[in-house]
Structure formats: structure tokens, C-alpha cells
Amino acid sequence: MAIVTLTIDGEQLSAKDDESLLQVARQHKIDIPTLCHLDGISDVGACRLCLVEVEGWTKLAPACTTRPLEGMVVHTSTDRLKKYRRMIVGLLASEGNHQCAVCTVNNHCELQNLAYDVGLLYVRVPYLYPDKHIDASHESFILDHNRCVLCTRCVRVCHEVEGAHVWDIAGRGIDCEIISDLNQPWGSSESCTSCGKCVLVCPTGALVKKGESVAEMEKHTEFLKYIVTARRKGEWISVDTDEE
């Protein structure tokens, strides 16, 4: 680990080179919108909302998976980035069936909040209204593919924190979807411990508790902090370091 100095939005900062640009920015109260990122689980750069501009780089870089480098000059909220972020949220909205008004997480939804943050007045691409299904076979939870944005938080929290690795992604393109075990109904999954972590970290109404009505369900992700802190102190065994 070394200390590097870089510039983010005109502010000169020093940072550890094993942190992400996102961590560094947030430590200095520079807000970058995210969706797939969640403190406590690994970053995969899936949603592309945290894309930033780095001077001298031809490509945009996801802040969550980019490390700070010496002398780097980063811009986090240029007009181009704002336009792309609005476009990304619009595309996410168009690729699912997100009827906020009848969703159990209405008003507690990260996708909804992002739509406000990026100023999504309307979706400029044609809605696809894809034909997606619902898996309600689990005794306590429901997986509604209509509301899934494929952030893979559930996949990561189940693998990295619970250690069960129930979830994976199957399919390509618009047919991509979250599957449990080897594409078996969730209710018949032998690996699922019914811990509910995936439900709590899901940013939308794709994973919800059974029996909740419209706008009733709030997601709480604080539990992750305690588990991850305990693990760092050695009070918990990581699934990745176990037997490797």
C-alpha cells in the first residue's frame, strides 16, 4: 500500500492506492451515484453509474473498480457523465417492468431514487415490456424478475457473506437473469439457508419478503457493516480465504 496524490473535481487529495476511486471520493464528500456497489461486498462495476472521466484516458472508468494513481485527474460530474447516467437509468427502466405505484418497495427503492437524482423526466428509448416471470416458490421470499436490474448484489452477498452461493446469472443480453442453484425454483434450493441477506441488499423490488403490500417494504443493509467489521477483526471466517 502506498499513498498517492490525485485530483478529483478540482480538489487535490491523497489516497491509499489500494482503495477505489469511489471510496476516495466519498471520503471527501464527493458524491458519485451508484447502484451495484454496496459497502461490505466486493465491487464488480456492473451498473456503470459510477463512471468517471480521467484526463488522458480515452475510456470512461467505473469509480468502484478503478484504483487511484499518482497524478490522476478525475472528473465525476461533467455534463457528458450526467447525460450517460440519465441514459443508464432510463435503459434500466426500459428493460424491466417497474411499476412503482404497485411495488412493495415503492418510495424505498434505490432505482427510484436514482431516477430522481439523475433527473429522469421520461425514458427516451422505447420500453421493452419484457415477458419476465416471478418465482414465489420460496416459503418466505419472492423473486420478481420484472424488477431485477442485474446488479448482482444478491449473488455477491450470498457468496461472500453468507457463504451459501445460491445465486448466479444465466443467459445472455436481454435474457440474462438471476438463477438459484442450477436454475431450480428457489423454494427447492438445497443451498439456500433462508437467511434473507439477498432480499435486504436488493436495491429494487426484485427480491422481497412475502406478505408485504405496496410501499411496505424497506430494505436495511446496516447488518453488513457488523458482519464485515467482525470478519476484519478475525471474529469471522471469510468464505474466500477459507481452505484456500
Beta carbon of residue 101, minimum distance to another protein (angstroms, whole number) = 3
Q: Which one, 19 or 117, has the nearer CB to another protein?
A: 117
> Counting contacts by CB under 8 A, is residue 102 touching another protein?
yes
| Residue written as grid cell 429494487 | 204
Beta carbon of residue 106, minimum distance to another protein (angstroms, whole number) = 4
Considering only residues 1, 2, 121, 182, which one is a binding residue for another protein as defined by CB under 8 A?
121
> Counting contacts by CB under 8 A, is residue 119 touching another protein?
yes
Handedness of CA 94, 97, 102, 108 (dihedral sign): negative
Beta carbon of residue 98, minimum distance to another protein (angstroms, whole number) = 8
Nearest to 85 by CA among 37, 119, 49: 49
> Counting contacts by CB under 8 A, is residue 116 touching another protein?
yes
Q: Which one, 40 or 90, has the nearer CB to another protein?
A: 90
HEC string for 7-65: EECCEEEEEECCCCHHHHHHHCCCCCCCCCCCCCCCCCCCCCCCEEEECCCCCCEEHHH
177-196 binders of another protein (CB under 8 A): none
> Counting contacts by CB under 8 A, is residue 87 touching another protein?
no
Q: Which one, 71 or 119, has the nearer CB to another protein?
A: 119
> Counting contacts by CB under 8 A, is residue 93 touching another protein?
yes
- What is the end-to-end Cα distance of the chain in Å, rounded? 23
* Angle value at C-alpha 217, between 216 and 222, nearest 5 degrees: 140
